[in-house]
């Protein structure tokens, strides 16, 4: 009964470093998305995928890359971390958006 699993839970990066935030779901959901949560701004969509091999940009895609080689996994890559990317990142999945998302527990990222 894992649902949506995100790793790591916490990460500190130096400016310019790269890293990958992992997201995996075991519910056979086609839709997967990455959101970032910042104080006073709610959740903003970074990238999303409607199925394996298909990804698209959301509201705030700059500085992030994604890929979807399998239905289960949807990693988020930061190519060159910047302090503005300090945030809490949530991965979410669903079979259909009208059903709402199932969220992971988040990754708290600090870029110094």
Partner 1 sequence: AQSVTQPDIHITVSEGASLELRCNYSYGATPYLFWYVQSPGQGLQLLLKYFSGDTLVQGIKGFEAEFKRSQSSFNLRKPSVHWSDAAEYFCAHKTGANNLFFGTGTRLTVIP
User: Helix or strand or coil: residue 98?
Assistant: helix
CB of 82 to partner 1, least distance (A): 23
Which of 18, 56, 82, 83 binds partner 1 (CB under 8 A)? It is 56
- Does position 90 bind partner 1 by CB under 8 A? yes
Which of 69, 84, 95, 105 binds partner 1 (CB under 8 A)? It is 105
CB of 80 to partner 1, least distance (A): 26
Rounded to whole angstroms, the Cα distance separating 66 from 69 reads: 10
Whether residue 71 contacts residue 54, with contact meaning beta carbons closer than 8 Å, is answered with: no
7, 14, 93 from 46: Cα distances, Å: 17, 21, 14
Which of 30, 45, 72, 73 binds partner 1 (CB under 8 A)? It is 45
- Does position 52 bind partner 1 by CB under 8 A? no
- Other CB atoms within a 10 A radius of the CB of residue 46 amount to 24
Sole window of 22-30, 34-42, 61-69, 73-81 interacting with partner 1 (rule: CB under 8 A): 34-42
- Does position 98 bind partner 1 by CB under 8 A? yes
CA 66 to chain centre: 8
């Amino acid at each position: 009964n894992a649902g949506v699993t995100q790793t790591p839970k916490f990460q500190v990066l130096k400016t310019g470093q790269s890293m990958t935030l992992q997201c995996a779901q075991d519910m056979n959901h086609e839709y997967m998305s990455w959101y970032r949560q910042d104080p006073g701004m709610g959740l903003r969509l970074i990238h999303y995928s409607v199925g394996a091999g298909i990804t698209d940009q959301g509201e705030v895609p700059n500085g992030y890359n994604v890929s979807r080689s399998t239905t289960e996994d949807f990693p988020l890559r930061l190519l060159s971390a910047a302090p503005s990317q300090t945030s809490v990142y949530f991965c979410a999945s669903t079979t259909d958006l009208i059903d709402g998302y199932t969220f992971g527990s988040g990754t708290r990222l600090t870029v110094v």
